[in-house]
């Protein structure tokens, strides 16, 4: 004999002014409670890795300047180049290194950028390597 035998046969109470709660809402009452909103996102952001910015040596800067001078002379040809450049992360220190291969359409001296034929724009100060194809 169970201590609930005396009420087990009873049906649920029905109230005229209160409709029964849908099952999905009833289940939500018992779902886990997020005590700290955004905690999971903060942990994921902290775990995301970035690369440190590599400081370039004087000879590396000179080489890039020389390649930019050649590029400037050949810009009407829209030369095909491969560029390795740094993209700073907007949320934390560091960033990532990327490569771009394509035809350079314009050297924007006002914005200090390279504009590629496909419309992509790369800041000249972020270029680490420039190679003609």
Query: Does any domain span residue 42?
Result: yes
Domain that holds residue 58: 14-133
Split at pLDDT 50, 70, 90, the class of 24 is: confident
pLDDT, residue 34, reads 64
In this structure, of 30-34, 37-41, 79-83, the range with the lowest mean pLDDT score is 30-34
Query: Residue range 32-52: average pLDDT?
Result: 79
Query: Does any domain span residue 8?
Result: no
The encoded tokens of residue 128 equal 């680490």
Query: Structurally, how many domains does the chain consist of?
Result: 1
Bridge partners, residue 116, by sequence:
104
How does pLDDT run across 66-122, given as a tens digit for each residue? 999 999 999 999 999 999 999 999 888 889 999 999 999 999 999 999 999 999 999
Query: Residue range 35-49: average pLDDT?
Result: 80
Query: Does any domain span residue 4?
Result: no
Residue 37 pLDDT exceeds 80: no
Query: Does any domain span residue 133?
Result: yes
Query: Does any domain span residue 5?
Result: no
Query: Does any domain span residue 31?
Result: yes
CATH of the domain at 108: 2.30.30.100
Model-level pTM? Answer: 0.65
Query: Does any domain span residue 71?
Result: yes
Query: Does any domain span residue 7?
Result: no
């Amino acid at each position: 004999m169970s201590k609930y035998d005396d009420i087990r046969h009873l049906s649920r109470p029905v109230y005229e002014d209160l409709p029964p709660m849908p099952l999905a809402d009833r289940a939500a009452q018992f779902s886990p409670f997020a005590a700290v909103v955004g905690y999971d996102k903060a942990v994921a952001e902290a775990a995301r890795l970035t690369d440190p910015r590599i400081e370039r040596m004087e000879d590396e800067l000179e080489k890039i300047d020389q390649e930019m001078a050649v590029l400037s002379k050949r810009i009407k040809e829209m030369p095909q180049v491969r560029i390795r450049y740094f993209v700073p992360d907007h949320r934390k220190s560091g960033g990532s290194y990327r490569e771009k291969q394509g035809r350079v359409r314009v050297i924007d001296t006002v914005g200090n950028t390279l504009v590629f034929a496909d419309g992509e724009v790369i800041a000249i100060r972020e270029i680490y390597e420039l190679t003609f194809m």
